[in-house]
């Protein structure tokens, strides 16, 4: 990997190995307008209109900048319903990256989760995973199964510096298999880059060890590779056994051990769509029937062909270290800036985005008033920055209706790849610092419209008291006419 040293060492910053050729104009509403837009959106950043957002750090899903080669490739798309050359080019790229023989296309990652759950999960089943993702858990519980989270203890300590906080707790996995029986475990899911605990990675060694345990007990191993590119970066830079391996070699070693891999190319490959790959024909045949039923024909699976062409190129570009390092380096820079300001961050910096520990940021706001959601609302007021709540709002209630409080209350500031400049990251850090210095003004939230399923997407909340207006007034006092 390349490293460019700055002559003035105090000016050392991540150096982008790309140039920007297309730009999009941004707008920043006034702080009073931001308060109004937030109230109209029910204090749910998902319901904000993008025209009212200055920095969209909600997610890196489907909003990464594509390369010039991806855009060029999309122009050669073959939109034949069957027998498409676009499909053939995508299959070839997947074989190169994962060395897999079979591919089932789907319109995105959660569609893959639906197919896998339909094919393999039955009532009473238990699905172990290092940590759940929102839609993954819902698909499994919808089929009558339950999720067991087996991330190592270090993964739930935001302040602990540990290289692979997303690792499976192998002894707990073996114990669970013994307790419930392998026949009641349809698969073990490995999430490469744990979304809900700060984008923390797993080691290559740990993934392979989980796959070996599964093989010993006749259980299918499943890898969610949606965040694999960041995880590959961390393996290359943090794991001794991988330091002399290429990104392609690391990917092949992991893929060789796993029975089934699925991914969202809204993340992996910087395009749109998703898919399931495997070398096990029997597993593919069990899922194949559901693709035409839920997604589309077997050569497109709900994807638009231009996106498939972009995906094929993007997957191959993911094997280039200079392509995948920009995201983690920018995230590390933002985490470092905020940590130096005293803001409580999840450390070390993971993938996907910078994660603020809302419980420490707002210690006086109890779980039942949703501190991570309140912090997301406050940051939009402070800077027009749209982050994503990754805490109790992102959980689903228990069957008896009681609240299921999250292990961690986090505000995620996603860093879409090749989208933001360093000056914009410094602006974000500055507004978070101002908010931290005025955190005593921030209050909680309460539900006014709460959907039963995936409530964080379209539920609505309201502020408890008038804290948002007071926060805006303090902003105007400190910043004057500045936006």
Classify residue 374 as exposed, middle or buried by CB count within 10 Å of its CB (0-12, 13-18, 19+): buried
Catalytic, 390? Answer yes
Task: Show the tokens assigned to 177.
Answer: 């298999």
Q: Given 56, 456, 460, 475, which residue is catalytic? A: 456
Q: What are phi and psi of 468, to 5 degrees?
A: -70, -40
Q: Given 137, 267, 347, 417, which residue is catalytic? A: 267
Q: Given 189, 390, 412, 431, which residue is catalytic? A: 390
Task: Show the tokens assigned to 462.
Answer: 């309201």
Catalytic, 27? Answer no
Q: Given 7, 10, 81, 402, which residue is catalytic? A: 81
Catalytic, 456? Answer yes
Catalytic, 81? Answer yes
Task: Show the tokens assigned to 68.
Answer: 């010039």
Q: Given 133, 300, 330, 333, which residue is catalytic? A: 133
Q: Given 134, 136, 194, 299, which residue is catalytic? A: 134
Catalytic, 37? Answer no
Q: How many residues does the chain have?
A: 483
Catalytic, 141? Answer no
Residues recognised as catalytic: 81, 133-134, 224, 267, 390, 456
């Amino acid at each position: 990997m390349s490293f460019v040293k700055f002559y003035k060492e105090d000016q050392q910053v991540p150096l982008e190995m790309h140039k920007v050729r297309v730009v999009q104009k941004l707008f920043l509403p006034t702080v009073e307008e931001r308060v109004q837009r937030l109230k109209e959106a029910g204090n749910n950043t998902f319901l904000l209109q993008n025209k009212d957002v200055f920095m969209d750090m909600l997610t890196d899903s489907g909003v990464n900048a594509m390369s010039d080669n991806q855009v060029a490739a999309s122009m050669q798309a073959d939109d034949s319903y069957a027998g498409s050359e676009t499909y053939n080019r995508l299959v070839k790229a997947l074989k190169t990256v994962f060395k897999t023989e079979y591919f089932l296309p789907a319109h995105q990652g959660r569609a893959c989760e639906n197919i896998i759950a339909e094919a393999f999960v039955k009532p009473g089943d238990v699905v172990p995973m290092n940590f759940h993702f929102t839609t993954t858990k819902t698909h499994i519980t919808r089929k009558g199964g339950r999720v067991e989270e087996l991330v190592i203890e270090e993964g739930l300590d935001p302040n602990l510096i540990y290289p692979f906080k997303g690792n499976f707790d192998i002894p707990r996995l073996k114990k669970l298999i013994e307790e419930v029986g392998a026949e009641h475990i349809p698969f073990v899911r490995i999430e490469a880059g744990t979304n809900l605990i700060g984008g923390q990675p797993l080691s290559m060694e740990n993934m392979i060890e989980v796959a070996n345990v599964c093989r010993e007990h006749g259980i299918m191993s499943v890898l969610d590779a949606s965040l694999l590119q960041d995880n590959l970066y961390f393996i290359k830079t943090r794991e001794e056994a991988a330091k002399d391996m290429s990104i392609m070699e690391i990917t092949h070693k992991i893929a060789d051990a796993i029975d089934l891999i699925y991914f969202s190319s809204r993340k992996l490959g910087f395009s749109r769509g998703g898919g399931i790959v495997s070398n096990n024909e029997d597993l593919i045949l069990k899922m194949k029937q559901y693709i035409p039923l839920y997604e589309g024909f077997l050569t497109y699976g709900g994807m638009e062909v231009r996106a498939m062409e972009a995906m094929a190129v993007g997957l191959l570009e993911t094997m280039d270290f200079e392509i995948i390092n920009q995201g983690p380096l920018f995230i590390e820079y933002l985490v470092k800036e905020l940590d130096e300001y005293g803001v409580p961050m999840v450390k070390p910096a993971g993938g996907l985005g910078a994660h603020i520990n809302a419980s420490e940021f707002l210690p006086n706001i109890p779980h039942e008033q949703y501190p991570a959601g309140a912090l997301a609302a406050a940051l939009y007021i402070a800077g027009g920055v749209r982050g994503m709540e990754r805490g109790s709002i992102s959980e689903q209630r228990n069957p008896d209706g009681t609240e299921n409080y999250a292990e961690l209350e986090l505000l995620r500031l996603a860093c879409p790849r090749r989208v933001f400049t360093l000056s914009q990251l410094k602006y974000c850090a500055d507004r978070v610092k101002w908010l931290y210095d005025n955190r005593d003004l921030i209050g909680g939230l309460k539900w006014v419209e709460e959907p039963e399923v995936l409530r964080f997407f379209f539920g609505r909340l309201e502020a408890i008291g008038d804290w948002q207006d007071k926060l805006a007034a303090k902003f105007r006092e400190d910043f004057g006419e500045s936006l």
